[in-house]
Amino acid sequence: MAFHDVNPVAPVHILVIPKIAISQLSLADKQMPSEEEAKSILGHCMAVAADIGRTHCPKGFRCVVNDGKEGCQSVYHIHIHVIGGRQLTWPPG
């Protein structure tokens, strides 16, 4: 599923979230019945993020997945941030 972030950092900020519970990217293969199922779900989420990015940010976009405390993860259900609609800077901070 996908919806707008409640605290957007850019004009386009949409979250892509799998309907199955996965707490974080680094644990996905351990929380799924198989590594293949984890890859399938994660791949599908990235494909959805790409579709959203192409549709809403034709000039370019960024996909972000935060993982763990030092990765700034605050919600422990994996989600992909699709961010764009303006020129983004690097490094992100």
DSSP characters for 9-22?
SSSEEEEE--SS--
Nearest to 49 by CA among 85, 1, 7: 1
Predicted TM-score (pTM) of this structure = 0.94
Class of 2-84 per CATH? alpha beta
Q: What order of strands is seen across the sheet that includes strand 12-16?
A: 2-4, 12-16, 80-84, 61-64
**Catalytic site residue from 13, 56, 77, 79:** 79
Q: What is the pLDDT of residues 57-67, one digit of tens each?
A: 999 999 999 99
Q: Can you give the residue ranges of every domain in the chain?
A: 2-84
Residue-wise pLDDT tens for the chain (93 aa)? 999 999 999 999 999 999 999 999 999 999 999 999 999 999 999 999 999 999 999 999 999 999 999 999 999 999 999 999 999 999 876
User: Is 13 labeled as catalytic in the residue annotation?
Assistant: no
